[in-house]
Amino acid sequence: MRHRRIYVVPLLAALLWAGGLPAKDREGTYHDPSMDFGSIQTVAVLPFANLTGNTRAAETVRDVFMTMLQATGTLYVVPPGEVGRGISRLSLREPSSPGSEDIKQLAQLVGAEVVITGVVSEYGELRSGGTAANVMTFSVRMLEAQTGKVIFSGSASDGGVSMGNRMFGGGGRPMNDVTRKAVKKLLDQLFD
């Protein structure tokens, strides 16, 4: 009887934990449950941080992200020039990782209700044995303008060396396709 309890308690805890979380939270995406995302109309996207060896990766991914976000038709994306002027006026030293006060000031200056920051962690060719393919991984955080608190965070990845690439050769998909697909995955998380 004693051994049964040992197995039942962890099993019960695991079931309660799994049943108590929405699926998207278990996948690493966070949506603030108290935020009305439908009320957001204007967003400013800050320059993304670049953790890759490709010097243009963050700029490229940010551009694709902003274009696809604007194309959803649900939000107005503040043009990058206006965001850049706001960053200059505030003399932000690290625009890719601003503090909550910086978020509040910048959002007020450019007229945004939320600010998005991002990090590109993989961008380019990935090699596995004799096979290579393009890969892209990035993450974003959406911060509320009035408080500077995170109301959404998510990450997405696409590309890489598949089993088919390994077995039959081939270089995978073009980098632009991989980037667009990863951005679409992240936008699907945001609007889920």
- 125-146 pLDDT, tens digit each: 887 777 778 899 999 999 999 9
What mean pLDDT value characterizes the chain? 84
For 179, the domain range is 31-190
Residue 174: pLDDT band (50, 70, 90) is confident
Residue 164 within a domain: yes
pLDDT at residue number 16 = 32
pLDDT at residue number 5 = 43
> What distance in Å separates the CA atoms of residue 126 and residue 161, rounded to the nearest whole number?
7
CB atoms within 10 A of CB 36: 8
Instruction: Name the residue type at position 17.
Output: W
H-only helix segments in the chain:
2-20, 23-26, 57-71, 80-90, 100-110, 163-168, 175-190
Per the model's pLDDT, the better-predicted residue between 42 and 166 turns out to be: 42
Residue 44 within a domain: yes
pLDDT at residue number 160 = 77
Per the model's pLDDT, the better-predicted residue between 33 and 1 turns out to be: 33
| CATH code assigned at 59 | 3.40.50.10610
What does pTM read for this prediction? 0.81
180 and 154 Cβ atoms separated by less than 8 Å: no
Residue 80 within a domain: yes
Average pLDDT over residues 157-181: 75
Burial class (CB in 10 A: 0-12, 13-18, 19+), 165: middle
Instruction: Name the residue type at position 143.
Output: L
Residue 15 within a domain: no
Average pLDDT over residues 29-55: 95
Residue 56 within a domain: yes
Coil/strand/helix, residue 25: helix
Average pLDDT over residues 99-116: 96
Residue 22 within a domain: no
Residue 126 within a domain: yes
Residue 13 within a domain: no
Residue 47 — φ and ψ, nearest 5°?
-55, 140
Q: Tell me the pairing of strands 150-159 and 131-144.
A: antiparallel
Residue 58: pLDDT band (50, 70, 90) is very high
Angle at 40 between CA 50 and CA 186, to 5 degrees: 40
